[in-house]
Structure 1
Amino acid sequence: MDPNQQAPQPAPEPIKATGANSYLKPYKGKGAIFFDNFLGGFAWSFGSLIGLALIAVFVGYLISQIDLIPIIGGFIAQIMQDATSRLQLPIQPIE
């Protein structure tokens, strides 16, 4: 062996599969596509519902703390009074 030559390098190890092949398949079955889209739509709608509820609570709290809107405050007070008066049942005497 010539001293100026390098020793032959061993062959590199083959790259092992990482499990990404299942995500890189170009085609899925109709059932898998339907199930994936169903779960995605369900998660999106649930997140939208929770987000909208949080925003509504926050806006309602802000409006309840503001006394600068007497027209809306009086209107809401009238609605609340009407709603609660209709919920009260008349008291019947026991005979």
Structure 2
Amino acid sequence: MTEPDIQVEDRGAKGRYFVAGPDGAVAEMTFTKAGEHQLIIDHTEVPDAFRGQGIGLRLVTRAVEDARAAGKKIIPLCPFANAQFHRHPEWADVLKK
């Protein structure tokens, strides 16, 4: 099984990382920009069609990679994203303290 592509939709102050499944299901992680150097992860939603595939973690990981590359910090307000930051101390460089 090939891994679905993570897409990024940037709508100015808000946006999302998402994966669209062949059945129309969409897993997404939404964000809000807080100034030029901070990103707030607001919400992560993974429909049943994606459960057990690690899609939620992949969405957060992609945001971490993008933030690191752009020199930005992340504020994980979403409980899922916040839990992932606690599980991944190697992401401390992008976590807004």
Bin of the TM-score, shorter chain as denominator length: under 0.3
Question: Based on CA coordinates, which of the two structures has the bigger radius of gyration?
Answer: 1
TM score, norm. by length of structure 2: 0.25
The structure that is helix-richer by fraction is: 1
TM score, norm. by length of structure 1: 0.26
The structure that is strand-richer by fraction is: 2
1 or 2 for the larger relative contact order (CA 8 Å, sep ≥6)?
2
